[in-house]
Structure 1
Amino acid sequence: MLNKNSPLPMYYQIEENLKQRMDTGEYTPGDMIPSERELSEFYDVSRMTVRQAVTNMVNDGYLYREKGKGTFVAESKIEQPLQGMTSFTEDMKQRGMDASNKLLGFETIPATHEIARKLHLKDNQEVYRIQRIRYADEQPMAIETTFIPKTLIPDLNEELVQGSLYNHIEKRLPIANATQVIEATIADEHQSQLLEVPPLSAVLHIERNSFLQDGTPFEVVKSAYRADRYKFISDIYRS
């Protein structure tokens, strides 16, 4: 099973073999993997070597532990390229997943100084604040709060925001580009409940400022994505 003459460490070979067994369907999401003792006997290595391999896979999001129960195969992460500007609904459709929303709040409020500055508005000018949970195949992926100038889309209502906002906006306004900032944070109690993750779980805080073709900013979006289900990929080039 393992090549003990290989320069690759034993723990790394175990990781790769377990990933291969997950890829072939021997272990599927939610399955409990064998115990450290069973894996050490199977691979004919020490339990310390197995523990290092399993811990690495937990840290990388392939596995998760439940205290007093065991170690289980995690759901695969959704890969989101950083190139291109797409909506959550479009992202999920491209992956063959069913996107849905749960509306937490829809209201018109006076813009704070921060939001007004990013949307090129005057302080206290009216904006929509839309709060939603975004789901993929009925699993919560993100909590999203969107701010849009009311003057840009005066007819926006609760029914429209249940679907893809971008589809509605692009019927009258040409979307061009966005600036996006991603930071790692810890979920607070409220976020943990909504995302159905343990308290203090890692989340990806993403803030997007989006613009129309004429340079007018049309939205600020603040999102908290589950770090155990989402990862971002970027192609980079040496200039």
Structure 2
Amino acid sequence: MLRPMRGGPAIPRWLQLKHALRDLVTFDLGPGDRIPTEAELGQRYGLSRITVRQAVTSLVDEGLLHRQQGRGTFVRLARREAPLQKPGHFLASAFDEASSGKMRVHAAETVPAPNWVASRLGIAADAPVHKLRRVLDRDGGPVAIRTSFVPAALAPDLLSADLSPPLHLVLEEVFGLVAREAQERIEVIRADSFRAGLLAIAEHEPLVMTERVAADAVGQAIECARTYYRADSFSFTRTLRRGEVRPVRP
């Protein structure tokens, strides 16, 4: 099943091998399949162990492969495709798609607003906010965390409500807090020890972090949420459509 290496002398041999292995993983193997050992790859392609290791390590770093001590190198489980915006509700996301039983509340409490949260919500520092942390499980393990902050003055009894639905629906249907717009930004960060522990990954592993502030029709912020996705479990997609193009007239 091994694919031939392609490319001329200007392309390093390790990079040619990387492309061949990427084709193997993409077209011939499935999640959980083991790739040949470094020794087998070296013999097949006539390459040194160092060259083979460089190619394999590059694919491990990209998240296509993962090593298991004493067992070998395997194709990672496919990342879950996560559209940046989904139909049905403009605040819906991959985090909100979890079927019943896969979303769990990790913590729910009322706390003084940290300075950064107060600035996002437009409230006084240390004003009470409800802090809700939920964990999304997939394939038996945690893959994402969302921490939401809601001004306690807007929804005093939030923590007594059923928190199993997506929070934006709870705010709408129970408390009449209807979001009309939201500002969202995306960053790639490294997991600190706390988030690494919650997500069962090593410290400093990459995470995709989205921060969203939702506001009502008069511009009052009603929720600030940060969602942390394991970078090895999700890929983010967005559909772009060209609207009507109107001619520019002088």
Identify the match of residue 215 of structure 2 among 211, 217, 233: 211
Residues 17 and 52, structure 2, Cα contact 8 Å, conserved in 1: yes
Compared CA separation, residues 131 and 90, structure 1 to 2 (3 A):
closer
Aligned length: 233
Paired position in structure 2 for 1:193: 197
The residue number in structure 2 matching 1:33 is 35
Q: Could you tell me how far 1:148 is from its partner in structure 2?
A: 0.6
Counterpart in the other structure of 1:180: 184
Which residue of 47, 66, 82 corresponds with 1:64?
66
Q: Radius of gyration: which is bigger?
A: 2
Question: Does the alignment pair 1:87 with 2:89?
Answer: no
Q: 129, 134, 140: which is aligned to 1:132?
A: 134
2:146 aligned residue:
144
For each residue in 1:150-183, what CA deviation from the matched residue of structure 2 results, as whole angstroms up to 9, or x when unmatched? 2333342355222211222333343233223333
Residues 34 and 159 of structure 1: is their aligned pair in 2 closer, same or farther, counting only changes over 3 Å? farther
Shift in CA distance, 92/44, structure 1 to aligned 2, threshold 3 Å: farther
Quick one: which amino acid aligns to residue 121 of structure 1? I
Distance 2:155 2:118 in 1: 16
CA separation in 1, counterparts of 2:36 and 2:97? 33
* Structure 2 unmatched runs, 5+: 242-250
Alpha-carbon distance change, 46 to 182 in structure 1, aligned in 2, over 3 angstroms: same
**Is the contact between residue 129 and residue 148 of structure 1 (CA under 8 Å) also seen in structure 2?**
yes
Give the alignment's TM-score, normalised by structure 1: 0.78
Offset at residue 36 of structure 1 (A): 1.1
Residue pair 2:109, 2:132 contacting (<8 A) in 1 also: yes
Query: Aligned pair in 2 of structure 1 residues 166, 222: CA closer, same or farther (>3 Å)?
Result: same
TM-score calculated relative to the size of structure 2: 0.75
Q: Decide whether aligned partners of structure 1 residues 79 and 143 sit closer, same or farther in structure 2, where only a CA change above 3 A counts.
A: same
| RMSD after superposition | 3.2
Change (3 A) 1:178 1:137: farther
Cα pair 2:79 2:234 within 8 Å, conserved: yes
Give the conservation status (yes or no) of the 8 Å contact 1:98–1:137. Answer: no
**Pairwise CA distance, 1:232:** 3.5
Residue 123 and residue 199 in structure 1: after superposition, are their counterparts in 2 closer, same or farther (change >3 A)?
A: closer
Query: Structure 2 CA distance, aligned partners of 1:166 and 1:137?
Result: 25
Structure 1 partner of 2:245: none
